């Protein structure tokens, strides 16, 4: 077991992407890595229940409580657990350069658009899909990329396109982008990075 990359998933809410990763691990799509830890900045996150059900250690690390010590505590927890890869799965905190450079090329994020479209500061959640629809693009999708100090600025690992329908709302588009793109490419990208780290 020890030859697998140790994965930590950072979450803030429902944890649907976390669930996609757990399912991918159970079905063998992720075989070079293993989810060892789930960390949430929100003690009410349903993602923590998902971790519990899957028998994965879960920790709450609240920015509100820890203030300026938030990132230091996070780094400490990740280092103590000898984490190889960090997956941001709906983690609603912007991480500083100090954090991202400490784990350079080891932090992976999924973003609900085809970067470089509709990304960067302010583009998260439904805002991304609202922007895609108001702009009138015909194709959107999801991107898995490495995280650096620039929001959505790291090297792209994988992308998948999703066609926009005439009657799409931000909510229906969000759901389809998750189901058709995010939940498919995030596990594949995590497996790819795990394999490279352990290669």
The CATH number of residue 23's host domain is: 3.40.50.170
Element at 171 (helix H, strand E): helix 170-177
- Please name the residue that has the structure tokens 């609603």: 92
Cβ atoms within 10 Å, residue 106: 18
By the 8 A CB rule, do 10 and 88 touch? yes
Query: Hey, which residues does 9 pair with through a beta bridge?
Result: 38, 87
In whole angstroms, give the CA distance from residue 117 to residue 71: 29
Q: What's the pLDDT at 199?
A: 75
Beginning with the edge strand found earlier in the chain, give each strand of the sheet holding 85-88 in spatial order: 57-60, 33-40, 5-11, 85-88, 107-111, 139-146, 156-163
Q: Which residues of 83-96 are buried (b: 16+ CB within 10 A; e: fewer)?
A: bbbbbbbbbebebe
The verdict on whether 102 is a catalytic residue reads no
pLDDT block averages, 10 residues each, the chain of length 199: 88 96 98 98 96 98 94 97 96 92 96 96 93 98 96 96 98 98 98 92
Q: One of 111, 127, 129, 145 is an active-site residue; which one?
A: 111
From residue 25, give the alpha-carbon distance in Å to each of 1, 9, 67, 75, 141: 13, 13, 34, 25, 23
Cα end-to-end distance, the chain, whole Å: 15
Quote the number of domains for the chain: 1
Q: What's the pLDDT at 1?
A: 46
Instruction: Estimate to the nearest angstrom the gap between the alpha carbon of 106 and the chain centroid.
Output: 12
In whole angstroms, give the CA distance from residue 122 to residue 20: 25
How many residues does the structure list for the chain? Answer: 199
The parent domain of residue 105 ranges over 5-198
């Amino acid at each position: 077991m020890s030859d697998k990359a140790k994965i930590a998933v950072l979450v803030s809410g429902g944890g649907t992407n976390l669930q996609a990763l757990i399912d991918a691990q159970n079905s063998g799509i992720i075989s070079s890595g293993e989810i060892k830890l789930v960390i949430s900045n929100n003690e009410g996150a349903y993602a923590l229940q998902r971790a519990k059900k899957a028998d994965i250690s879960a920790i709450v690390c609240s920015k509100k409580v820890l203030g300026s010590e938030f990132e230091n505590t996070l780094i400490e927890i990740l280092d103590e657990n000898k984490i190889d890869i960090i997956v941001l799965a709906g983690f609603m905190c912007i991480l500083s350069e100090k954090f991202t450079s400490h784990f350079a090329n080891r932090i992976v994020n999924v973003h609900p658009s085809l970067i470089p479209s509709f990304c960067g500061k302010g583009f998260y959640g439904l805002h991304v899909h609202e922007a895609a629809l108001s702009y009138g693009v015909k194709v959107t999708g999801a991107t898995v990329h490495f995280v650096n100090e620039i929001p959505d600025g790291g090297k792209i690992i994988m992308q998948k396109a999703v066609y926009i329908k005439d009657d799409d709302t931000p909510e229906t588009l969000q759901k389809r982008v998750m189901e058709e793109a995010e939940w498919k490419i995030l596990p594949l990208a995590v497996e790819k990075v795990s394999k490279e780290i352990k290669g």
